[in-house]
């Protein structure tokens, strides 16, 4: 018997309860994130999304289940899993360079100052903040602060990035620019990313795989939506012109508006196995219409 290869991140039977035996916020959560994949988790507030991310980051402990990363169960935070926090979480008494150098020096304690500085500078340039390296976070705009947060996370060259609604505090224009930047950075670095969002368009733009989570309490993973739009075809400005876009978007919105509330009724009587989730590709239905529809059109 061969054991199937685990994905890079494997969430196995994760549960979180109020207290030790109280009602579950979520339970029996199973999903995986492959190496190099961009995975988004979508769900309403209160379903436990942030808790799942914090467990992945090692900042929080689950009530049950485990997270396996690289075939090892995680038991705490690690430099292999960089976190981009919702509120950027920069240290306000350090400059931009100081914030990133703090992370770099934590990753490679034996490096001398010059090497740390040079390494930090390359990541400041990568996110387009060259010239602002000596500014304090208070002197930066919200978008620039989040860029520093991204640079800090990337600078330690982690195996994966964990992002907790990283753009939700930004205005629409800045958010769009940063989303594209993140897409570019992930393409360049082949980074594995797990991101939490409740923005449907953000998920379609960035994610290869979208995990849908139902409402809490007792939240679970409903299904997994594969984003069949290739990364190269995803651009913020003409996303809505892509033939698959509306099919995927409608599927996600339909889930968030209706199905996330009534998912228990939906699966009643049907076989729902949290370990074998339904994988749907709503985008393909739009570009490959079912055969009978095509023949109907021809016969007319």
Partner 1 sequence: MKASLGLRAGLLSLLIFAAIVLVWQIAARPTAVSGPAVDPEYAKLVGAAAATGQKSAMPTPADIGATIWKHLQDPFYVRGSNDKGIGIQLAYSLGRVLLGFFLAAIAAVPLGFLIGMSPLVHRALDPFIQVLKPVSPLAWMPLALYTIKDSAVSSIFVIFICSVWPMLINTAFGVASVRKEWLNVARTLEVGPLRTAFRVILPAAAPTIMTGMRISIGIAWLVIVAAEMLVGGTGIGYFVWNEWNNLSIANIVTAILLIGVVGLLLDQVLARLTKLVTYPE
With CB under 8 A as the contact rule, the residue among 9, 11, 156, 221 that binds partner 1 is 156
- Alpha-carbon distance of 229 to 278, in angstroms, equals 19
Which are the contacts of 119, defined by CB distance < 8 A and separation ≥ 6?
104, 108, 111, 155
- Interface with partner 1 includes 178 (CB under 8 A)? no
- Interface with partner 1 includes 205 (CB under 8 A)? no
- Interface with partner 1 includes 141 (CB under 8 A)? no
Q: Which stretch binds partner 1 (CB under 8 A): 27-35, 79-87, 202-210, 268-276?
A: 79-87
CB of 5 to partner 1, least distance (A): 27
**DSSP secondary structure string for all residues of 263-282:** HHHHHTTS---TTS-EEE-H
Closer Cβ to partner 1, 143 or 176, answer by number? 143
Closer Cβ to partner 1, 137 or 283, answer by number? 137
Closer Cβ to partner 1, 138 or 172, answer by number? 138
Where do the DSSP E strands lie in 97-165? 160-164
CB atoms within 10 A of CB 12: 16
- Alpha-carbon distance of 123 to 121, in angstroms, equals 5
CB of 26 to partner 1, least distance (A): 21
Q: Which stretch binds partner 1 (CB under 8 A): 13-21, 36-44, 65-73, 84-92?
A: 84-92
- Alpha-carbon distance of 95 to 132, in angstroms, equals 9
CB atoms within 10 A of CB 272: 16
Which are the contacts of 126, defined by CB distance < 8 A and separation ≥ 6?
151, 154, 185
- Interface with partner 1 includes 159 (CB under 8 A)? no
- Interface with partner 1 includes 91 (CB under 8 A)? yes
> By the criterion CB under 8 A, which residues form the site for partner 1?
57-59, 76-79, 81-83, 85, 87, 89, 91-93, 102-103, 106-107, 136, 138, 156
């Amino acid at each position: 018997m061969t054991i199937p290869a685990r994905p890079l991140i494997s969430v196995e039977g994760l549960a979180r309860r109020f207290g030790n035996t109280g009602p579950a916020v979520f339970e029996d959560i199973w999903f995986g994130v492959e190496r190099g994949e961009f995975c988004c988790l979508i769900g309403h507030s209160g379903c436990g999304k942030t808790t799942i991310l914090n467990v992945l980051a090692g900042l929080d402990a689950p009530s049950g289940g485990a997270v396996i990363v690289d075939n090892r169960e995680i038991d705490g935070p690690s430099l292999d899993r960089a976190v981009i926090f919702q509120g950027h979480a920069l240290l306000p008494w350090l400059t931009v360079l100081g914030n990133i150098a703090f992370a770099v020096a934590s990753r490679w304690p034996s490096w001398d100052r010059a090497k740390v500085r040079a390494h930090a500078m390359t990541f400041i340039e990568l996110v387009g903040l060259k010239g602002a390296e000596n500014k304090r976070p208070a002197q930066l705009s919200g978008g620039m602060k989040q860029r520093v947060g991204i640079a800090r996370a990337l600078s330690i060259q982690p195996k994966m990035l964990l992002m907790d609604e990283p753009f939700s505090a930004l205005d629409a224009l800045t958010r769009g620019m940063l989303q594209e930047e993140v897409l570019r950075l992930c393409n360049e670095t082949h980074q594995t990313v797990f991101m939490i969002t409740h923005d449907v368009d953000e998920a379609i733009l960035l994610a290869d795989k979208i995990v849908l989570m139902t409402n809490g309490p007792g939240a679970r993973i409903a299904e997994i939506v594969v984003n069949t739009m290739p990364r190269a075809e995803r651009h913020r400005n003409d996303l809505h012109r892509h033939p698959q876009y509306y099919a995927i978007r409608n599927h996600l919105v339909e889930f968030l508006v209706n199905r996330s509330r009534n998912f228990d009724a939906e699966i009643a009587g049907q076989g729902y196995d949290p370990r074998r989730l339904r994988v749907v590709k709503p985008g393909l239905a739009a570009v490959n219409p079912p055969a009978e529809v095509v023949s109907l059109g021809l016969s007319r």
